[in-house]
Structure 1
């Protein structure tokens, strides 16, 4: 039962040996109306306001000592990509690519690896100080170093699992409720539809929040290497 239930999230549709479900990561670009590209369209103005707000917030989080002044745009692009894929998964019969660790780890692991390589190569002493919080008693220093090292190593995994788990949880709940629909009477069916609409609204908020959380945590991790 559980195998069949979770199999709905597997990229199984294929043609000419190509996994077509992964096309959902780019096929949504065709759904963007042409008016979005006309300046000054309202959609473009709203998106520009969002990007400017994110740029200011990321700039504050990264601090005044950031190496490249345009590095915030990396995280803005990351936010846009995750948000786009999260929303694509809310449409019926469209594969949710961000619910798979294959994609989320592909985003988190290279970011974390590049941060670590840059930090340990260029700011080695600064990275060592992060392993030992200020004011730690001498007796606890070896344990704190081990704890900080482990917490640093699991960061890409926690980033990836957090995004994938939150995206798949709501979809799984909606699937479970939807499968009970044919066995319900008219009154319970109306209640089920209201619950599904509520869950869809909640999933829309989760799509925005999770893309924001993933990007904010990546920004904070990058600020620690300077």
Structure 2
């Protein structure tokens, strides 16, 4: 087994079963979550309400129920990030296949909506206010390129952060069998601190993905 074996999407030659871990979060949500209000459901609904208010502020007054899709993306990424911290659970958000599947359709839908309904507004975004006339052609090229790489930056940011933390934990974990017993407590403390850090990264990266998607959508309205 290599260092990157934990990121291998195929458990066998014929049937890649690791991607089924993306649906594991449905097992952890009991039916009572939907029927009977519990303390955990109340806390989660409170978090979603806070996110709804923030996303509504970012999108603008014409958001209607548009925050629902961004809250759903946040929840999906958050669940998968946390599940990836458990042993022997495949981290689907560490693959560009997963992250691009989330980022690319969002960006394409924003672009289609913007260019069909607000063409003048979209063209105005290509030239920032106060740009000298000589620099306008260059600014159009730069803004066009920066706009086109947005789904890639969203996907790579999420995947790279998930891979980096998991690789560091794997590297430290593999040294456990070859180090002295006197150093082992320090290794365990370091691993626990890394696990706490990765839990924070899991929350932050899902929030960043959802917020940036919301900001991109606000530019086309």
TM over 0.5: yes
1:105/1:160 contact within 8 Å kept: yes
CA–CA separation in structure 2 for the residues paired with 1:46 and 1:211: 18
Corresponding residue for residue 12 of structure 1: 10
Corresponding residue for residue 219 of structure 1: 214
TM-score (norm 1): 0.94
1:61/1:223 contact within 8 Å kept: yes
Q: Root-mean-square deviation (CA), in Å?
A: 1.4
1:108/1:156 contact within 8 Å kept: yes
Q: Cα deviation per residue 1:42-71 (whole Å; 9 max; x = unaligned)?
A: 0000001000000000000001133xx111
CA–CA separation in structure 1 for the residues paired with 2:186 and 2:34: 40
2:54 to 54, 57, 61: 57
1:30 positional shift: 1.4
Corresponding residue for residue 128 of structure 1: 123
Corresponding residue for residue 202 of structure 1: 197
* Unaligned residue ranges in structure 1 (runs of 5+): none
CA–CA separation in structure 2 for the residues paired with 1:132 and 1:175: 46
Aligned length: 221
Stretches of 4+ aligned residues off by more than 6 angstroms: none
CA–CA separation in structure 2 for the residues paired with 1:90 and 1:198: 13
Q: Cα deviation per residue 1:79-123 (whole Å; 9 max; x = unaligned)?
A: 000001001100000000000000000000000001001101111
1:140 to 118, 135, 149: 135
1:20 positional shift: 1.0
TM-score (norm 2): 0.96
CA–CA separation in structure 2 for the residues paired with 1:133 and 1:7: 46
Corresponding residue for residue 149 of structure 2: 154
2:164 to 139, 160, 169: 169
Please, which moves more after superposition, 134-143 or 97-106? Answer: 134-143
1:38 positional shift: 5.0
1:9/1:96 contact within 8 Å kept: yes
1:46 to 43, 55, 58: 43
Corresponding residue for residue 110 of structure 2: 115
